Structure 1
Amino acid sequence: MADRAGSGTPISFRGIEKRFGGVSALSPVTLDIEPGEFLTLLGPSGSGKTTLLNIVAGLVEPSAGQLWFGEQEVTDLPARERGVGMVFQNYALMPHLSVFENIAFPLRVRKISRADIAVRVKEVLQLVGMLSLADRRPRQLSGGQQQRVSIARCLVYKPSIVLMDEPLGALDKKLRMQLQLEIKRLHEQLGFTALYVTHDQDEAMSMSDRICLMDGGRTVQISEPTELYFRPQSSFAAGFLGEANLFEATLVQQNGHAFLEGAGGLRLGPAPEGARPGSRRTALLRPENVRVLATDESAENEAIGQVSEVAFFGGDTRLTVTLPSGMSLVIRGSTGHGLVKSGRGETLRIGWCDSAVTALPEQSA
């Protein structure tokens, strides 16, 4: 994780649970978020990520456990006394107020002087690139501009903890990518502790110091983005963090070499250290790590298959290849590498290196 001095406040969850009636929405969550860290709660709908965020905000009361901000226990502290900033997907701007007045509102509630309000609102408008639009009403702004105002309103009173619940969910892809970079820049510049909720894997990986992957009200894995992507601890994590080729494999020992073998005798890659001969594991092979081999090329692991599907995405191309065993394998790579020239029904020789294969922990097989 990036080393950042930061002015953010650490957050600690100690056995936090939530039940709605007889239904468990959160299994016990124990987690420490470091000062100035950007941690994302990632997961499908109903995984418990927004419930956990709302517990931090004080909008939902936990059924059990403790919540700490630094050295202060805040489990029972009212939301208005927690001092956290919040950014929502729906902007939550007041339509009758100007951009300036919307941003100034939390300062007026805190009885900040008029002169200080003017200075602080101007500063934060400059931060989000909205100074020239200070007099406009929300209806005169685009969706991206409205979200910038919402972010500025959150930051104007300098919270040490900022909570963001799907803030980019209503925006188009290009604008989402632009605002991801802007939020990341603001976080690095101001050093607040950020707790961010999204179901978008790319968003989580591009913005976060760490990701807490959730499913069914429990934490599945808490790791840095690269660790979560390349070394997932379960089939769910492997499949949720990008596209994945997952193979049920058996550890085979032959001529002094141990390797993972898939259906039809397909050699997938070396066996993990300490694995027992005959044991079964799930092997992960990311589509971008498979390549189409030229006639004079070889690879540590090879297979022959027939192209069953070609999808062109502009910068890259996705092929689905059916192997002799009947299993499908996905290849994804730069269009410039010639994948787009592959046609349906064509027979290809494909390959990948040993290091491209990850054997998931035995319990996930």
Structure 2
Amino acid sequence: MSDFVDPFTLREGAVGTPPRHYGNPLGEQRELAAGRAIVDLSDRDILSVTGPDRLSWLDSLTSQRLAGLAPGHSAETLLLDPSGRVEYAARVLDDGETTWLLLDAGTGAGFLAFLSRMRFTLRVEVLDRSQEFATIGTLGEAPAATAVRNGIPLVWHDPWREIVAGGFQYSAVPVHPGEDWNYSEALVERSRLDELGVLPAAGTLALEALRIAAWRPRAATEVDATTIPHELDWLRSAVHLSKGCYRGQETVAKVHNLGHPPRRLVLLHLDGSEGVLPAADDEVLLADAVVGRVTATALHHELGPIALAVVKRSADPQAALAVRSAEGAVLAAAQQVIVPPDAGAEANVPRIPRVGSTRR
């Protein structure tokens, strides 16, 4: 995409590529939340999979049940390693002839290489379409310039709003903030991006703040080399617990049924008196001990400074935490539990008395 000039970067006040904001991050956030703005995500990667075996093939490789995905319907799926750790996350849309995989920036090439190695004799073809299409995010209507293929608008609707069929939610709150997360991503041909110039735009900072407030995990921020989906409550939208075998399934089932994820996702409400936000990978402290790391931070238009963090399961869910920056500054942080310490162990396995026990 070296010859591509992003028209969003030419808008007044645009900062960054894609623009992080246009000069009014909080105002843009309010407009985006109200469904009145779009977000340029043209650095995201896009793959297409064609051929009659495409859905059953992807179903056999990844965590979500994709066989039989109806045209125009959306899904989310994870590619795990043999130990159940997250390698790639894909947002999935099928138009009846082609399956579209929307991925975070920089991950498409690796996922394409893996899929290409796994074709064998199946009737599938995988292509990188990132130079042809751009991703546009919105919490409102998809733009009129959205691409249409086989009569289906190429719009992915985020399933995070509810627990998908075959999924499971660890969060125990009575009303999940994801229920208000009416987010979608539309594919627009890059040659038509200029047509979006009449629409109000928000920067990626606005989208990130709303995502964090919805507790919505993302591969580019929350995933590291050891992440398993349970730690991020990702069974809610990206894992089908009763589908057929796939790579990493044994770990998914074992942790969910018999064990507990070693870490857990929390929302941090940060002390904003210093007027600074921590950065990704800053340390999370309990007393003087490091118990986790920050994954993403934002200034929310209603909640103030917030962050997502992954902490040790053993960290007291009632305790006050702190965040220490790379420069040594320490910010107080109140944790809001997303994944509780007792997440997992959902199988109803009867206890077997130990040999020699006299207990009745």
Q: Do they superpose with TM above 0.5?
A: no
Larger CA Rg, structure 1 vs 2? 1
TM-score, length basis structure 2: 0.26
Between structures 1 and 2, the one with greater strand share: 1
Task: With the length of structure 1 as denominator, give the TM-score of the two structures.
Answer: 0.26
More helix by share: 1
